[in-house]
Amino acid sequence: MSIYVGNLSFDVQQEDLKEVFAEYGVVSRISLPTDRETGRPRGFGFVDMASSQEEAKAIEGLDGAEWMGRTLRVNEAKPR
């Protein structure tokens, strides 16, 4: 299970995401995909937590929250 985090600021780094999600549990994996053609950040990311309970809490606590001047969109990620 993993979390989709959308509407991110383009200058957010993996460490920043980890910091925020660590508030809700153990972050086991972070992914911030960049546009393969342009190398630019795509403005969204993926976070995996150690447990689905922690993920649920993170989604609950962070979806719709304002961060880095943008309103976060957080929910369960679709399968790649």
Binding site for DNA (CB under 7 A): 2, 4, 6-10, 31, 33-34, 36, 42-44, 46, 70, 73, 75, 77-80
Which one, 22 or 48, has the nearer CB to DNA? 48
CB of 19 to DNA, least distance (A): 19
Which one, 10 or 19, has the nearer CB to DNA? 10
Q: Count CA within 13 A, CB hemisphere, residue 44.
A: 11
CB of 67 to DNA, least distance (A): 11
Q: Hey, how many other C-beta atoms are within 10 angstroms of the C-beta on 58?
A: 22
CB of 47 to DNA, least distance (A): 9
